[in-house]
Structure 1
Amino acid sequence: MPLEKRINNPQDVRAWTVSKAYHDVMNLIQLVSKYITSRPIKPDIPTSTAVSCICELLSHMNKKIDSFPCEEQPQRFGNKSYRLWFQWMSENAKELCRSMLFEKCGITTSVVEGVSFEEILEEVAGYFTESFGNSTRIDYGTGHELAFIAFLACLFKSGVLHAPGPGNSGAPNDYVGIGLVITPSYLQLVRRLQIYYRMEPAGSHGVWCLDDFQFVPFIWGSSQLIGHGQYGPSSIPERHTAEEEKDRYLLFSCIDYIYQVLGKFPVVQHFLFGQLLTMDRTSGPSLSLGDFPGAAGATTRMAPPSIIPSRSVPTGPTGKPVPNESETSSGNVKLTTPPEHAS
């Protein structure tokens, strides 16, 4: 079945934060953080066949940009040639995932009970298609980045990627491969799309983010810097440090890119659901990494974010807010309107 949108209003966010899909996505983010702690990006990182295949697919997508050169005419919001690239990508996504990922990794049948191989392929390709921006608005934001994380989570569920465990001891760690090999390849592709086609940041004002387009590399990049004695908080915004370390640390790669683009945007309202990542309520009040494949022994836990109900503010006849008393932890504080003129 095709992916569908299930988050249609702010009230649906509560269901999202206790869903299996949220649980799976957050576990993946945490596990990658765990396994790349204090590890820089290096050219000789061991990779599995699956990680190499994903990077080859991303490289293929990157090279295909050359087949759709920008239109040489004034355009206010992004270059329309992006839509041609996107059309090619979306029309071929399913077969590319089949031939360049599943078949090369020896996966030709379903490993998910109750879900056929073609349904798995359709959902994986659906998340992949959503990972590179919106062709109508010619924009890109953290919702598209989230779709790529969902794509990777589905590859674990469908048997393409594998978590470390007794059955594959000694094999390259795919969580490390995601953080230190796949993510740089993905960022290289989407940043080229953003710059070449002049893509807009998704959303007009945005929330809870640090740059125009990405969020997760800041999380994983911070994990890389744990225990690093050379850089402190004051080093983060330094441009020369970012230029020197952008190829080794994701966080500095993001800071380097911030000097080119700045902005913020909404995230989860466009997340899509299927049979692999579902809106079904998860079993438990908090996230447990042990429920994600191969997560035995992991100790990180992250509770779902609390949903703060909006408060109505009393207004007077003119529509302006009426001051009232508010209780704080330090006692009663009376809110008063400041005088118009100081005496």
Structure 2
Amino acid sequence: MSTDLIDGVGPDHEYMIPTKFIKNPDDMVLWENSIAYQEYLGFILAINEAIKGKSLKYDALPVSPTITKLCGVIKKLDQFINETPPLEQPQRFGNQAFRLWLEKVQNATHELLSEVLPEHLQRALAEVSTYFMESFGNQIRIDYGTGHEISFIMFLCCMFKIGALEPDDKIYAATRVFNDYLKLVRKLQQTYRMEPAGSHGVWSLDDYQFVPFIWGSSQLQAHPKIEPCSFLNPEVVETFADQYMFLSCIAYINQVKKGPFAEHSNQLWGISGVAHWTKVTLGLIKMYRAEVLGKFPVAQHITFGSLLPLKPFLQGRGTDRRFLGMTPPPSTGRSSMQVPSQKPT
């Protein structure tokens, strides 16, 4: 089975500013049968395959200049947080300094990303930067959720499509760029007391993220010691959180939540009873399709442009679906993660 990413766009490709098109629940069928949906999910599967069994410390391949520059961009946004401390305000959540931080990001994005893209790809700047700027939270509600996570993954997907990132960059796109992004949005959540977007337990596994659990479970496949039940052991989490995304997510949950794990993170607690990481990964992908990509409150915020268009999949070019040399199976419309029927003790 091929693991090549899709063919890049041509030099005469016409870029466009991504726009929201999902206006009501009836439009969900357009999204779920679109080129954008197939390519986005195919991209997640391709990265999933690339990082299987590889830790966050993997360094067997050279790091491309583009990966290094993208990590530098995220580091710059982290500096913006340090320069924008929380404001003193009566309300506990939603510190308004976040709006000042995001304004700095929006003002700097064009310059920051123009330094990442080579000259012949500068025409793509407006399209890819739209996804980038939508990746960090909502300026009005001061919240963050899986929709913003989708925007950042779409940004990475588009960087591969235009050729700024190459197939050999798949591993580090996840283990370095995306992992740095996770650290950044966690710092945002804590610094500005951001609310979770959507509904906890419906559109994410924890309050904020989903994809790092998918990719993180793939990293742990065939690990000689760490089994799905192991993440309930605080010592295992503390020891390996800097090596595996799944465990870093658990470490963050343990940091921000109090009380029995089975009560505040019941879905994750149930996953700990699955026998093998391979089964966890497959179940999470199905759950993600049903409980995140299949939810109108999430999909209504997704934007579509020339690189990820809301066009019927069957009318797309054949290469538009070859992130993994395969087409993802049709959605069942429901989650099929099977977890043990147990009750918290």
Q: Is the 8 A contact 2:215 2:246 kept in 1?
A: yes
Partner of 2:196: 201
Partner of 1:254: 249
Partner of 2:12: none
Partner of 2:213: 218
Determine which of 51, 66, 69 is the counterpart of 2:82: 66
Question: Alignment length, in residue pairs?
Answer: 282
Of residues 179-188 and 214-223 in structure 1, the stretch that sits farther from structure 2 once superposed is: 179-188
Residues 306 and 9 of structure 1, relative CA distance in 2, 3 Å threshold: farther
Q: Is the 8 A contact 1:16 1:279 kept in 2?
A: yes
- 3-state SS, counterpart of residue 267 of structure 1: helix
Q: Is the 8 A contact 1:18 1:304 kept in 2?
A: no
Give the Cα separation in 2 of the matches to 1:206 and 1:96: 35
Unaligned runs of 5+ in 2: 1-15, 258-263, 266-290, 335-345
Q: Does 1:75 align with 2:86?
A: no
Give the Cα separation in 2 of the matches to 1:247 and 1:87: 31
Q: Is the 8 A contact 1:8 1:269 kept in 2?
A: yes
For each residue in 1:148-191, what CA deviation from the matched residue of structure 2 results, as whole angstroms up to 9, or x when unmatched? 0000011112221011xxxxxxxxx2110112111211111110
Alpha-carbon distance, 1:302 to partner: 2.2
Partner of 1:176: 171
Alpha-carbon distance, 1:283 to partner: 2.3
Give the Cα separation in 2 of the matches to 1:36 and 1:147: 21
Give the Cα separation in 2 of the matches to 1:41 and 1:153: 20
Give the structure-1-normalised TM-score.
Answer: 0.76
Give the Cα separation in 2 of the matches to 1:205 and 1:70: 25
Give the Cα separation in 1 of the matches to 2:210 and 2:25: 21
Determine which of 313, 316, 327 is the counterpart of 1:282: 313
CA RMSD of aligned residues (A): 2.4
Partner of 1:339: none
Q: Does 1:108 align with 2:119?
A: yes
- Give the % identical residues: 41
Which one scores higher on RCO, CA 8 angstroms, separation ≥ 6?
2
| Matched letter for residue 33 of structure 2 | V
Partner of 2:235: 240
- 3-state SS, counterpart of residue 313 of structure 2: coil
Partner of 1:153: 157
Residues 219 and 284 of structure 1, relative CA distance in 2, 3 Å threshold: farther
| Matched letter for residue 141 of structure 1 | G
Unaligned runs of 5+ in 1: 111-116, 164-172, 309-343
Q: Is the 8 A contact 1:14 1:307 kept in 2?
A: no
- 3-state SS, counterpart of residue 41 of structure 2: helix
Greater Rg by CA: 1
Q: Is the 8 A contact 2:137 2:145 kept in 1?
A: yes
Judging by fraction of residues, say which structure has more helix.
2
Give the Cα separation in 1 of the matches to 2:199 and 2:243: 32
Give the Cα separation in 1 of the matches to 2:207 and 2:226: 24
